Amino acid sequence: MNIFILTGAGLSAESNLGTFRDKGDGLWTRFDPMKLATPGAFARNPGEVHAFYNMRRQNLLAAEPNEAHRALARLEAGLVGRGNFFLVTQNIDDLHERAGSQRVTHMHGELLKARCTACTSAMPWREDLSVNLTCPHCGRTGTLRPDVVWFGEVPLQMDAIDDALAQSDLFVSIGTSGSVYPAAGFVEQAKELGIRAYEINLEPSDNARLFDEAHYGPATQAVPAWVEKVLAASVRS
């Protein structure tokens, strides 16, 4: 069995990192993404964008992976030699890695990395960013930005993602509203290729009608339960 998994903010919600669009406390219900998550916003007001990502980086450094992250790491380990496992996340946190996942594709980048807009070097970064910093690679000042993918930018590793999806037997979408492309289009791609699609989310996503099967509930309960079923079936087969 070749499994392709897409994760979103709902997976890390129970690690206290919040989501983008949940009513009330979603980041994009409190902050305007057009002022914080576009290249134009960064060009116009880098200080405000840095403050937003500095706050989120500090929250991330205080957060811990949850049972859903740990279950996906167990699944990856349990499927070694039994099939391909491809995990792509829209999340910019490092909770999959800290839970033990070995191979994670971060299509929207990583909050614990900075990138220089002048020389394009990317580097690990755990401190606050500001316009006063100098790039350690090229020596220019004011050019460092969070290494994340904003609206209007092309998500990372799309060729590898498309290849892995095409080779899978099962597409599983976990904790994502299905409202941001190209990730929101993966389920349609899967269906066109005849691949079964399964959704795990707190509530039906924008694309819920496209999935063959779904389980609605908190990720920390729904994901471990599903993983145990898959691992048990893989041992029998």
Is 161 within 8 Å of 5 (Cβ atoms)?
Answer: no
Q: Does residue 173 belong to the site contacting ligand BJW (CB under 6 A)?
A: no
The stretch among 123-131, 159-167, 202-210, 224-232 that binds ligand BJW (CB under 6 A) is: 202-210
Q: Does residue 8 belong to the site contacting ligand BJW (CB under 6 A)?
A: yes
Cα gap 14→27, rounded to integer Å: 15
The stretch among 4-12, 115-123, 127-135, 159-167 that binds ligand BJW (CB under 6 A) is: 4-12
Per CB under 6 A, the list member of 3, 6, 9, 17 interacting with ligand BJW is 9
Q: Could you tell me the two tokens for 218? A: 């908190």
Q: Could you tell me the two tokens for 138? A: 């090229």
3-class secondary-structure state, position 121: coil
Cα gap 146→50, rounded to integer Å: 8
Shortest gap between Cβ of 237 and ligand BJW (angstroms)? 28
Cα gap 11→19, rounded to integer Å: 9
Q: Does residue 40 belong to the site contacting ligand BJW (CB under 6 A)?
A: no
Is 208 within 8 Å of 235 (Cβ atoms)?
Answer: no
Q: Does residue 77 belong to the site contacting ligand BJW (CB under 6 A)?
A: no
Q: Which is nearer to ligand BJW, 83 or 218 (CB)?
A: 218
Q: Does residue 51 belong to the site contacting ligand BJW (CB under 6 A)?
A: no
Q: Does residue 201 belong to the site contacting ligand BJW (CB under 6 A)?
A: yes
Which of 70, 53, 150, 59 has the alpha carbon at shortest distance from 108? 150
Cα gap 85→78, rounded to integer Å: 10
Q: Which is nearer to ligand BJW, 31 or 83 (CB)?
A: 31
Residue nearest to ligand BJW (CB): 10
Shortest gap between Cβ of 68 and ligand BJW (angstroms)? 7
Shortest gap between Cβ of 100 and ligand BJW (angstroms)? 20
108 is catalytic: yes
- b/e string for 204-219 if b means 16 or more Cβ within 10 A? ebebeebbeebeeebb
List interacting residues with ligand BJW (CB under 6 A): 8-10, 13-14, 19-22, 26, 37, 90, 92, 108, 148-155, 158, 175-177, 179-182, 201-203, 205, 218-219
